Structure 1
Amino acid sequence: MKFRAVIKKSGEWWIGWLVDLQGVNAQERTREELIESLSIGAQDMLDTEIRCEPESQITTIEIPDPAWVFEHSGNLL
């Protein structure tokens, strides 16, 4: 799976967050450490058990890749 991440250098730190998974953000000393922390955060969030109410269902949906995936594929994680 791929998720969009906004990352930037802020002073001595690299900061970033995942656009597609609210709540996944990180701050690290290097770009590589930041990417790794965001990846771990995404994995942890996706591994979190989701409880359903009776009569509810959990399902997945698939959508086509948006145009930006093809236009900017060199800049993705």
Structure 2
Amino acid sequence: MQLPVTLYRDEDDWYVVECPIIPGCMSQGETEAEALRNIQEAIQLCLDVRRAQGLPLTIESRQIEVPVYA
């Protein structure tokens, strides 16, 4: 299974990674590689919990861009 994730660096210089189609599923790491390994584990755990609770494994998500005037 291939799932989308978003990856960014936070204010403390950690890599934060989220899976937008699994509510609340996120992780982090000191390096990009560590963060990506951690999100794989987090995704599996989130899927296990959602399956056990009878919830849909994923939700529909779309990525769109919106204009912001600064």
TM-score by length of 1: 0.59
Deviation at 1:59, TM superposition (A): 8.2
Structure 1 gaps, min length 5: 52-57, 61-77
Counterpart CA distance in 1 for 2:56 and 2:23 is 19
Runs of 4+ in 1 over 6 A off after TM superposition: none
Counterpart CA distance in 2 for 1:6 and 1:59 is 21
Q: Contact (CA 8 Å) 2:28, 2:39: kept in 1 or not?
A: no
Residue of structure 2 in register with 1:54 after alignment: none
TM-score by length of 2: 0.64
Residues 3/59 of structure 1: CA separation in 2 closer, same or farther (3 Å cut): closer
Q: Aligned-residue CA RMSD in angstroms?
A: 2.2
Rg larger in 1 or in 2?
1
Q: What is the SS of the residue equivalent to 1:22? A: coil
Residues 47/8 of structure 1: CA separation in 2 closer, same or farther (3 Å cut): same
Structure 2 gaps, min length 5: 58-70
* 1:39 and 2:26 matched: no
